[in-house]
């Protein structure tokens, strides 16, 4: 992984922003200048940085401060900076980049403005679902739930991008082994998400998942390593905890917690159970190479599993989202079941309660596919 240094970015926030340190002498001339316009959601930020790191080119992070009520430029596919507070954002000035990597609707006008300032020279790579038409980007890297059309500049990956590598897993295992040493092996890692679209992770669903993994751990005389997430509600956590009787380590998610054991759990679990609401958590679990089981959530009108309908914890916003999926424009919703289908077809996962998935066929990883396509935009680059 490239070395990262810290530099102070000008502006009223005066915050430190990491920038990849320059390459060795002789490499800089053939390496594109890369800006990473960070997303305003955690999942987007992690994906754009993961791609930049995987490319191995020098890059600079551009953090933006967004105006709360400025949507005109995004909704009408503008090309300007009206949606950000310039004095609180990273400086956007020449020399202009060869490549901008970004995600999120609010960043699209900024990226187009950068390309305009460069005289059309800058290439734009967008991750996820763009608001503007795909042809307005040089490359869109997406996943099935967004249902984007097949185009030559659209890369349809199965899983999201991430920075989880075998080296990181080995380091995390070493760091956390002592913390979990008292828990009997084999260990089952359980990653809990939360409400998402038409699906709800409430007390009933959480208790049902807990009962299933409790039986699994009892059968193998093992234990559970459980991590909640930012979207896991206190009621769901309490219901899950109450249904568990086997040895268990349960981590309650806290923002910016340096002691978060999530990656240590991925590294030290023998198999993983992940709630099927989160593509990013499923992607990271699959990257471990261990058996991964998806735990279904109940939803209105769009069951995760085609063979059965799970019990639903009522949530009004889930009901309205299901109406939007049924009657609204497709671009305003996502269908996560399409990701489940691809992961199952590729043998990366199985449903909780089914037999373990087969080993996937040898193929380029989603990250390798993305790197290959981005590098193709710059023939001859180091």
CATH number of the domain residue 79 falls in = 3.40.50
| 323 lies in the same domain as 200 | yes
Long-range contacts of range 308-311, CB-CB < 8 Å, 24 or more positions apart? Answer: 310/205, 310/208, 311/204, 311/205, 311/208
Is residue 104 in a domain? yes
| 138 lies in the same domain as 78 | yes
Is residue 382 in a domain? no
Is residue 333 in a domain? yes
Give the CA diameter of the chain.
64
Q: How many domains, the chain?
A: 2
> For position 375, what pLDDT does the model report?
96
| 204 lies in the same domain as 118 | no
Q: What span, in angstroms and rounded, lies between the C-alpha atoms of 186 and 223?
A: 7
pLDDT tens per residue across span 197-241: 999 999 999 999 999 999 999 999 999 999 999 999 999 999 999
Is residue 380 in a domain? no
| 177 lies in the same domain as 129 | no
pLDDT tens per residue across span 13-23: 333 344 443 44
Q: What span, in angstroms and rounded, lies between the C-alpha atoms of 209 and 274?
A: 10
Task: Provide mean pLDDT across the span 322-349.
Answer: 89
Q: What span, in angstroms and rounded, lies between the C-alpha atoms of 149 and 155?
A: 10
The torsion angle over the Cα atoms of residues 362, 366, 368 and 374, rounded to 10 degrees, is 150
Mean pLDDT over the full length of the chain? 87
Q: Which domain holds residue 78?
A: 4-142
From residue 214, alpha-carbon distances to 111, 210, 232 in Å are: 48, 6, 19
**CB-based burial label for 285 (10 Å; 0-12, 13-18, 19+):** buried
| 34 lies in the same domain as 182 | no
| 32 lies in the same domain as 98 | yes
Strands 292-295 and 350-351, how do they pair? Answer: parallel
In the numeric block, the tokens 């009408």 are attached to 76
> For position 235, what pLDDT does the model report?
97
Q: Could you tell me the pTM of the whole model?
A: 0.83
pLDDT tens per residue across span 286-324: 999 999 999 999 988 889 998 887 888 889 998 898 888
Q: What span, in angstroms and rounded, lies between the C-alpha atoms of 139 and 98?
A: 14
Is residue 347 in a domain? yes
Is residue 241 in a domain? yes
| 57 lies in the same domain as 104 | yes
| 306 lies in the same domain as 240 | yes
Is residue 178 in a domain? yes
Label residue 335 left, alpha or beta by phi (over 0 means left) and psi (-120 to 50 means alpha): beta
Is residue 246 in a domain? yes
Residue 244 has pLDDT above 50, yes or no: yes
Share of the chain above pLDDT 90, in %: 69
| 210 lies in the same domain as 353 | yes
**pLDDT band per the 50, 70, 90 thresholds, residue 267:** very high
| 284 lies in the same domain as 251 | yes
| 245 lies in the same domain as 297 | yes
Last residue of a domain, one of 126, 142, 158: 142
| 128 lies in the same domain as 188 | no
């Amino acid at each position: 992984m490239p070395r990262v240094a810290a530099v102070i970015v000008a502006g009223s926030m005066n915050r430190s922003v990491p920038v990849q340190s320059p390459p060795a002498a002789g490499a800089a001339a053939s390496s594109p200048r890369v800006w990473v316009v960070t997303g305003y959601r955690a999942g987007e930020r992690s994906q754009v940085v993961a791609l930049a790191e995987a490319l191995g080119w020098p890059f600079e992070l551009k953090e933006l401060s967004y105006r709360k009520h400025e949507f005109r430029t995004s909704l009408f596919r503008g090309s300007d900076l009206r949606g950000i507070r310039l004095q609180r954002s990273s400086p956007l000035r020449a020399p202009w980049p060869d490549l901008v990597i970004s995600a999120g609707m609010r960043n699209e006008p900024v990226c187009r403005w950068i390309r305009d300032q460069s005289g059309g020279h800058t290439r734009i790579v967008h991750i996820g679902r763009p608001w503007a038409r795909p042809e307005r980007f040089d490359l869109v890297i997406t996943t099935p739930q967004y249902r984007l059309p097949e185009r030559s500049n659209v890369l349809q990956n199965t899983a999201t991008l991430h920075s989880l590598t075998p080296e990181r897993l080995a380091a995390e295992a070493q760091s956390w082994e002592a913390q979990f040493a008292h828990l009997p092996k084999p260990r089952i890692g359980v990653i809990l998400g939360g409400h998402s679209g038409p699906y709800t992770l409430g007390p009933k669903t959480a208790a049902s998942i807990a009962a299933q993994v409790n039986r699994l751990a009892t059968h193998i005389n093992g234990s559970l390593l459980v991590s909640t997430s930012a979207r896991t509600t206190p009621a769901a956590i309490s219901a899950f905890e109450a249904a568990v009787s086997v040895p268990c380590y349960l981590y309650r998610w806290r923002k910016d917690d340096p002691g978060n054991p999530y990656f240590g759990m991925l590294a030290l679990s023998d198999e993983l159970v992940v709630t099927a609401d989160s593509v990013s958590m499923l992607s990271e679990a699959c990257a471990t190479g261990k058996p991964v089981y998806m735990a279904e959530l109940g939803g209105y009108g769009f069951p995760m599993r085609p063979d059965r309908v799970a019990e639903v914890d009522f949530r009004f916003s889930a009901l309205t989202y299901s109406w939007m999926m049924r009657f609204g424009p497709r671009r305003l919703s996502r269908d996560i079941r399409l990701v489940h289908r691809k992961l199952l077809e590729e043998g990366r996962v199985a449903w909780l309660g089914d037999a373990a998935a087969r080993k996937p066929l040898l193929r380029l990883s989603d990250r390798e596919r993305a790197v290959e396509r981005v590098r193709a935009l710059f023939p001859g680059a180091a």
